[in-house]
Every structure is written in structure tokens, then in C-alpha cells.
Structure 1
Amino acid sequence: MANPPSDRPRHIKCLQVNLHHAKAASDVLCRRFKTELLDVAFIQEPWVFAGAIKGLNDCDELTQQDLAAVWTKVPTQMGEQEVVLASAYLPGDSCEMPTREVIALEEYCRRRKLKLIMSCDANAHHCVWGSSDTNSRGESFLEFITKNNLFILNRGNEPTFVNAIRGEVLDLTISSTSLSTFISNWHVSNEVSMSDHRHIRFDIEAQRVTNHVYRNPRKTNWELFRLHIEREVNGSTAPISSVYEL
């Protein structure tokens, strides 16, 4: 989901959360999305009723059951970057890690030389991204990330998943390594999410492309310049005794 673009130069403000199919969690997300003027929300397990996503009026149809991806252009200090923004859910009971959909997405971006930012509920543990331990799913996912030159944006070990009995880091934000320098302010939010997954906030460092006005001496019309000088100087009685007065 996305807010309409505005004309003010700023970062692209992103939020990531697994809604756990909860209506209340969807309401909290929508309120925060509008009041904080966020730009992009990466969500997993949305509230679904009668086969349709509810509570998110700006949400397009999912690309696939556990993966949604959009292609866009992001203006940065290095010029416009073609970026795929994706949200993925990796089921904990799946024997595939990562899923075929995520592998296909990475291959798609690599073939077309597109940058990738993917938020995911990985349902995987690894101490590299702050989990309390490491399991086989985490090892497989880290191997995939490393092999494909992706970058883990998570910072610290603040739990992203919290229920009555435990807290754990299960949610990851991943990007192409070349794009990682444009991601800032990644943190787990203290906002109440009404889900067992907490909100994750980060910014994409974007800027508006502006046209700079300047003079090019090589293209100066010197004849016109002299004509203007003559018109201004002729008839002037002011004494000129310095460069400043001139």
C-alpha cells in the first residue's frame, strides 16, 4: 500500500509488519500510515475475509499467495534507481527455504539488473540477524542471502515477534548490497501493532531531481553583452574609482 506522492523533498518512509490476519492490526496500520504520512507498507498475512483482503483500501491484488512485488523508480544521490519492492511470507512449516517464489524474484531482479528491497516474515532463526539461536531454516536462508550478494538491513537484536511466552527476531528486511547505503533509520517500533509481530520502520534516502540554473561563459552572446553595457554606462556621471564601485 502507498500514500499519494507529495512535492516535498524527503525520504521514502517505509513500514513493515506481519498483521497476523487481524482486523485490529490492520486498523492500527492504516491509522499510523495516514497520520505519519508513510509512503510504503510491506505487509504479510493481511486480514482476509471471504477470499478478499480487507481493511486496506489502497492494497492491490497479491502477486502470489505469499509474495507481493512492485517495480518502481527511486531518485537517489546516484541518480534514478530501478527498484523492486517486495513483501514475502515464508511459512514455517514449509520444507523449502527460501520458497520458490522468493528464489524466482531474486533471479528476475538479477536478470534485469533491478535493485531489490524485500521485507519478509522469514520464520527462521540466525544470530546474524539478532535471533536468540540458529536453526536449519536460518542457515539455509543466510546461505541464499550471501550467495546472491544481498544485504541484511536488520540492526540489533530487538524482537520483531512477541507473544505471551517468548520474543524472537523472525522478520527481516533485505536489499541489494549496492542499495543498502540508501537505507537508513531501520528500527523496531514501540508502536502497539495489535499483532504478535511488531512494526519495523526504515527510510529509503530519496531526493527530488531538480534542475540547476547556471551561466555558461562559452555560450555568452558577447555582442549583446557589450550593447547592454554601453546602454547602462553611457550618460552615467557616477565616479568609478574601484572594482567594487564598477
Structure 2
Amino acid sequence: MRTTYCYRLMAVSPSPNNCTVIQCNLHHSQTATVQLRKWLEANDTAVALIQEPWIGARGQINGLSHLRGKLLSTTISDKPRTCIYYSNKLHIQPLTQFCSRDLCAVKLLADAATGLPEVVLASVYMAETDVPPPQEMVQLINHCEQNGQHIVVATDSNAHHPLWGMELANERGKNLTEYLFTTNLQILNKGTTPTFVNKRSRTIIDLTLASDGAANLVHDWHVSEEASLSDHRWIRFNLETVIKVQQPKRNPRKTDRKIYTDKLHQSLEKPVAPGRLLDTAQIEIQVKELTSNILKSYNSACPLSDPAPRQGHQWWGPELERLRRRVRRHFNRAMNTCADEDWENYKTAKSKLKKRIRFRSTASWRGYCGNITSCAQANRVRKILANSNASELGSIRKTNNTFTTSPEETERTLLEAHFPGCRFVRDDRREEMNYNTSTRNWRYAE
């Protein structure tokens, strides 16, 4: 017996545009995570290549869930030191075979309409105790070179070299440079603006590397002047890609039942074929007419609507915004004067903001849970707690020991493994499928 599987592809109108990529090292800081989250809420077509995220007590990444995108990190080790956040509006496939504690990678899918190629985006952390480059990064770059794929690597190298603006080179910088000379990677860092700033030093250790083809797709690379609330400053650039155009949808829960009932009664007042139905052909006509009337009534009672934008933190108020601006002012002053007193003022303001964030978020959650008075509200809390922010299904290993290269190939591989011998039918609209009813089916129905 064969199983027919019909899968629907999202109808997306290609619109060539730029997505904003932000490279940031959060230094395991809660305040830096909140600052990044505020930026992601305002940019709905962004990719964040993150190193050293804020880790909770159970080893999970905190502060970046329930956004308008997905968060990818390794699932085989605790306390990951890299992760990638990407918007739902981007055509992205996770490369799970290359995800580890110190590396995370995704792939921007190619677009035939615009001619944009596939681009791999990777977030890499190079620990100070290890000799750069890490072996996982070498394997990923070799994979991209062998398959002709473009790649952009955002890394916290903890290395110094004049090639990216430092006056002197350390041993880590020499080892990394020797490796880069054996690849087709370019260093996108420009100028001598420091990417790591604290009271004691200002260095350039956060690097953006890109292959020759990917470098042509990167525009406006710069070290951001915005306060990241971390020792590492943000690096931002634009990358040519295709943005999904979200299609309007119907929400059955918002159906006006009175309008639906009235419309359906009006359409059923006059039957198509009055009298007794004598054969299957007349039954088919009546069924199609009834189905059409039901759908027309439903479409009138439940019109199409655009998805509502996700709201930000409800507990973020004027007090926290005022403290955030104060932290930024102290940071800018400390950067300009380099005085110990100004750095201490910045540290004190940052510590106060962190305490108030914890107080406000905890109080808001306790207040919300304490005001639950109905099953609907309790069910909403259950959904929030059950949501693990799982990312999309990425690449999986096939029987020939290779990995899938597209979401469609991944779905096909899973279906062939779990439903051997199934037949695939590609159809974009389920409503237009024709079901040919045989005489045997009618006899069975009788």
C-alpha cells in the first residue's frame, strides 16, 4: 500500500533586499542581552551572530526567546559559547552538522529569480586556551570551498595582528594569519576602531571573514557606535538576500459566526437541483455547490488579515529606558576621557540597570501569574512554558553518509525513511486537488 504525501510550499513573492547582520559578543551579560533584544525587536529582518551568550543555571541560552525569529545553538553540549538568531522572514536552513559548542552555522538559500547564491553564515568563538583556528571552523571552510559555497564568518578571535588594525601581533594572531593565507577568506575589518573596550585596554579581536564571492554581497561594514553594554562592541553590515513577503492569513478564532450563518442561509435558500437526487452525478454537483457556499460564507465572515507585530517586553518602562540612556552617556564619556572615575561611574550605572531589569522582569511575571483567573489564561502560560524555541529542522544525514542541502530534501529523506514506498505529490493549493470517486466508493458509502 502506497501513501500519498502532499506538501505545500509557501507562496513567497521575491523581493531583493538587504538583511542586517549584527555580530556581537554578549560576554555572558544579562544587560547586554537585553540591549541586543531591544535592537532585534526593532529590526525584523536581522541575523545576529552571537558569541558568549547569556547562559542560565540549567545551561540554556536566556533572554532571546519569543522573538520574531528562531535561535540556533548546539544541542549536544551544555553552556554553548555561540548561537545564531535569524528572522522568520529570511530563507535560512540550519547546518546542524556543523553546530558545536564553539561554532554555529546557517545557510541563506539561493534564489533563482534574483540570481543570489547560497551564503553560509557562521559564528565562531576561539577560546584563549586553544590554538586558532578551531578544527570545527577548518572543517566548515573546507566544506564550503569543496562545494563552491560562499561563507561569512563572525568570530571572537582573541588574536592580535597588524592585518586587522593592531600595532603588534601575538602568537595567536600569527597562527590565525598563517591559516587564512591558505584559504580564500578576506578580512572585512576596516580601520583601527577597537572592537573590545574596557578600563584597561582597547583592542581589535572581533573579526569578520568572508570568501571572495560573499565579500561582494556585504555592504556598509562598520563598528557600531551604539552602546552594547558589553566589553565587545557591535559590528554591523548589510548582506544582499531575499526577504519573504508575509502573506495575509485567516484566523478561524476571529470568525464572525453571525455573518457566517446569515451568508450560508442566504446561499442555501434556493437548491441547485430541486427534487430527488437520482444518480451520483447530481450528488457530486450538489456537494460541490454546498462546499462552495460554505467556503464563500467563511471567507466573508473571516477576512484575510496581516499578522500582528509581536510586542516587546511589557515590563520595560520609562525607568529602565532612563537608566539605559544613563549607561550609554557614562560609556561615551569613559570612551572619550579614559578616566578611571568615568569608568567606575559607567560600571555603577550598568550594575544598577542590571538590578532593576531583574526586579522589573521578576515582578511582572509574578504579577501576571498571580492574576490568572481563567483556564484560558492558564493555558496561555502553559504554552509559554512549553515553548522551547526550537529551531527549524536543519540538515540530516542520508543513507549514503551525505547531508541534505535544502529543506525539501530533508522532508523527502524523512518521509522515505518513515514511510517507505510513499509517492510524493507536489501541489501548491490543496483546494484544487481532484478526487476521482469510483462507483465502488459510492457502493461502499451506501
Q: TM-score normalized by structure 2? A: 0.43
Q: Give per-residue Cα distances to partners, 1:36-60, cap 9 Å, x unaligned.
A: 3451000000001111011111312
Provide the secondary structure at the position in 2 that maps to 1:202.
strand
Aligned position for 1:32:
39
Aligned position for 2:265:
none
Higher helix residue share: 2
**Counterpart code for 1:158:** T
Aligned position for 1:244:
none
**What is the distance in 2 between the residues matched to 1:204 and 1:138?**
27
Please point out which of 225, 237, 261 is paired with 1:202: 237
**What is the distance in 2 between the residues matched to 1:121 and 1:178?**
22
Segments of structure 1 that go 5 or more residues without pairing to the other structure are 210-246
**What is the distance in 1 between the residues matched to 2:218 and 2:73?**
27
Aligned position for 1:73:
109
**What is the distance in 2 between the residues matched to 1:204 and 1:77?**
17
Please point out which of 138, 142, 150 is paired with 2:185: 150
Provide the secondary structure at the position in 1 that maps to 2:133.
coil
* Deviation of 1:72 (Å): 2.2
Question: Are residues 1:44 and 2:42 paired?
Answer: no
**What is the distance in 2 between the residues matched to 1:78 and 1:120?**
29
Provide the secondary structure at the position in 2 that maps to 1:191.
coil
Percent sequence identity is: 37
Alpha-carbon spacing, 1:22–1:107, altered in 2? closer, same or farther (3 Å): same
Provide the secondary structure at the position in 1 that maps to 2:172.
helix
1:64-103 paired onto structure 2 within 5 Å: 64-75=100-111, 79-94=115-130, 96-103=131-138
* Deviation of 1:177 (Å): 1.3
Q: TM-score normalized by structure 1? A: 0.77
Segments of structure 2 that go 5 or more residues without pairing to the other structure are 1-11, 75-98, 245-446
**What is the distance in 2 between the residues matched to 1:134 and 1:39?**
33
* Deviation of 1:75 (Å): 4.8
* Deviation of 1:197 (Å): 0.2
Q: Is the 8 A contact 2:107 2:119 kept in 1?
A: yes
* Deviation of 1:201 (Å): 0.4
**What is the distance in 1 between the residues matched to 2:125 and 2:160?**
15
Query: Which ranges of 4 or more aligned residues in structure 1 deviate by more than 2 Å?
Result: 5-10, 74-78, 205-209
Aligned position for 1:61:
73
Aligned Cα root-mean-square deviation (Å):
2.2
**What is the distance in 1 between the residues matched to 2:180 and 2:192?**
19
**What is the distance in 1 between the residues matched to 2:200 and 2:55?**
26
Provide the secondary structure at the position in 1 that maps to 2:109.
strand
Please point out which of 10, 21, 29 is paired with 2:28: 21
Alpha-carbon spacing, 1:35–1:7, altered in 2? closer, same or farther (3 Å): farther
